């Protein structure tokens, strides 16, 4: 089994390229299903944020897949045109990158507080689609734990938590005091809600446009006003600032409509990837358009002490994952019936049982071949898979532990019983000796 990741991010790809690879939840589900149907792929996780799109794969040792090509094909994009933007990492390099990514060290805004949640959500979505395996599950779990340690021991103590919403607020302050001003925030997702809450705390009157069929169903932050989505331009004409952060694949604000307004907000911040605001809006008089790439946080070099701490945390995480992988391999190699920890090899991958009709199912021969090469079972994140892990790994360990406890308890009882017998015998001897002394004394009298 081997792990591979590939991705493009703000380091090598500008916004125009990244937005072509940005995906919605529904699109991500389709991509996961497509990639996971490949015969050599055992699991996949896709992370798609405003700064990056990254694909993590668990594949057979003999696999010769090109992950960037799989991703481009799933999005109907030319691999030849975009392959230069991708960076591919294997094995420990992939996990090293994931630890740093989840901690926010690799974000455009260093220490971004949203990315760790986005990494967890990516794994959760893949699990829901039955597209993970135990290797990806463990790598992500250990990496996220390492990311938390980095944030707690390095970032929080050094520079404090930063995020896209907080940097948005800082950028808006450059246009003047916020209290008493009016803003329109399009998007009521995680980023949009956080921006709205921060603006309200600063004394800004915020209006959130909602589609009519969602009016009354979606809760917006307290003290925020709502308006119908169709009337968003009327609200924008009365606002001093406009912020948009949706997951829509289409523009939410168009140049033609904005050019017809009697008044325009002085600053517009587009936090979406792909973009919500048509770029030509920048050409309207008195308008400053800011994109996600224009926001920057703490970018200075970290002190040597912090770098040493980060290296130690990441190295420990990789080492723990290595021990887990070695242990799993040992379990798979144990002879059937020769040990309580023997791990049976399944002839079919569990995920093929949960495959949707549009996925190509493997034949029994292919599945047997894969299982023989892997030497492990593939329960992944499914309920049946978790039950198998419990049966084949946790249950034998529990039995061994129970046996040890039982032996220990038996030893304690045995010692207690021996102690009681000793005390009883000692008491009888003492009474007998006392009786003899009384008898002797009586004879003398």
The catalytic residues are: 50
Give the separation between CA 105 and CA 366, rounded to whole angstroms.
41
Which residues sit opposite 46 in a β-bridge?
55
Q: Which residues contact 375 (CB under 8 A, 6 or more apart)?
A: 329, 332, 333, 345
Asked whether 378 and 385 are in contact (CB, 8 A), the reply is yes
Distance of alpha carbon 128 from its chain centroid, rounded?
A: 13
Give the separation between CA 102 and CA 113, rounded to whole angstroms.
9
Q: Which residue has the tokens 């040992």?
A: 330
Phi, psi (rounded to 5 degrees) for 291: -110, 175
Which tokens is 164 given?
């896209």
Give the separation between CA 153 and CA 305, rounded to whole angstroms.
11
Which tokens is 176 given?
């003047």
- Pairing mode, if any, of strands 52-59 and 2-9? antiparallel
Phi, psi (rounded to 5 degrees) for 60: -65, 150
Pick from 300, 191, 203: nearest CA to 243: 191
- DSSP H stretches of helix in 223-349: 232-237, 255-259, 304-333
Asked whether 321 and 137 are in contact (CB, 8 A), the reply is no
């Amino acid at each position: 089994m081997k792990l591979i990741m590939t991705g493009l991010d703000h380091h090598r790809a500008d916004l125009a390229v990244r937005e072509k690879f940005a995906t919605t939840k529904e699109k991500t589900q389709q991509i996961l299903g497509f990639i996971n149907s490949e015969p050599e792929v055992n699991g996949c996780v896709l992370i798609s944020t405003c700064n990056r799109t990254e694909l993590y794969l668990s594949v057979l040792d003999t696999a010769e897949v090109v992950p960037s090509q799989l991703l481009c094909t799933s999005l109907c994009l030319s691999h030849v045109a975009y392959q230069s933007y991708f960076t591919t990492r294997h094995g420990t390099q992939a996990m090293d990158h994931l630890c740093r990514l989840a901690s926010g060290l690799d974000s455009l805004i260093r220490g971004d507080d949203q990315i760790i949640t986005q990494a967890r959500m990516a794994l959760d979505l893949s699990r829901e689609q039955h597209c993970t395996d135990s290797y990806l599950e463990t790598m992500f779990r250990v990496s996220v734990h390492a990311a938390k340690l980095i944030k707690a021991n390095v970032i929080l103590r050094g520079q404090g938590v930063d995020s896209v919403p907080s940097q948005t607020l800082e950028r808006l302050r450059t246009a003047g005091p916020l209290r008493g001003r009016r803003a329109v925030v399009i998007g009521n997702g995680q980023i949009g809600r956080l921006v709205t809450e921060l603006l309200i705390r600063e004394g800004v009157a915020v209006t959130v446009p909602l589609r009519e069929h969602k009016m009354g169903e979606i809760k917006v932050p307290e003290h925020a006003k709502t308006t119908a989505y169709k009337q968003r331009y009327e609200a924008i004409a009365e606002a001093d600032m406009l912020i948009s952060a949706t997951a829509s694949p289409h523009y939410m604000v168009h140049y033609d409509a904005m050019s017809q307004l009697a008044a325009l907000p002085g600053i517009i911040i587009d936090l979406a990837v792909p973009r919500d605001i048509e770029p030509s809006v920048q050409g309207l008089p008195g308008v400053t358009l800011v994109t996600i790439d224009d926001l920057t946080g703490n970018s200075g070099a970290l002190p040597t002490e912090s770098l040493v701490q980060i290296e130690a945390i990441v190295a420990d995480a990789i080492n723990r994952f290595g021990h887990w992988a070695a242990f799993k391999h040992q379990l798979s190699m144990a002879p059937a019936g020769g040990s309580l920890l023997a791990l049976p090899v399944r002839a079919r991958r569990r995920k093929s049982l949960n495959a949707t009709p549009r996925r190509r199912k493997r034949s029994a021969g292919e599945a047997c071949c894969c299982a023989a090469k892997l030497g492990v079972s593939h329960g992944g994140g499914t309920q049946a898979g978790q039950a198998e892990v419990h049966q084949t790994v946790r249950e034998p360990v529990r039995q061994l532990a129970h046996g040890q406890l039982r032996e220990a308890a038996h030893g304690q009882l045995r010692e207690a019983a021996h102690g009681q017998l000793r005390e009883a015998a000692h008491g009888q001897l003492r009474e007998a000796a006392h009786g003899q002394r009384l008898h002797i004394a009586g004879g003398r009298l």
